[in-house]
Structure 1
Amino acid sequence: MFVIGLLNTVWQKLQRMARCYRTRKQLAMLDARALKDIGVSRADALEESRKPFWRC
């Protein structure tokens, strides 16, 4: 059971990292109007999108 729990935890962390990677790339592709709508500057969006995927 310990091994299954450990594998489940690792799988969940990998899924979270993949989600962070995808959403950061999507954030970087937003235009100025969309960024303004969500209250994020272009500089902040680019800074966030440049973070490595494991920093969630």
Structure 2
Amino acid sequence: MRAERADDEFLRIRLTSELARDREIVVKYEEGLGFHRARIEANRYELGKLDERLGG
């Protein structure tokens, strides 16, 4: 029984660690998406202004 309990506790520790790491990866990915979406929108806006000035 002790060995099973110890195995379960180690498995729980490993899974908790993996879960935390995976959550961090997803958060960083979503932050990156937000950054790049904002940059895309800013560049599209600037391109629109340039097109208007250039008569395009």
TM-score with structure 2 setting the length: 0.55
Give RMSD over aligned pairs. 0.8
Aligned amino acid, residue 40 of structure 2: T
Q: Which has the larger radius of gyration?
A: 2
Aligned counterpart for 2:39 among listed residues 22, 39, 42 = 22
How many aligned positions are there?
33
Identify, as 1 or 2, the structure richer in helix.
Answer: 2
Q: Structure 1 segments of 4 or more deviating over 3 A?
A: none
Larger relative contact order, structure 1 or 2 (CA cutoff 8 Å, min sep 6): 1
* 5+ residue gaps, structure 1: 34-56
Cα distance per residue 1:5-40 (max 9 Å; x no partner): 00000000000000001110001101222xxxxxxx
Q: Percent identity?
A: 9
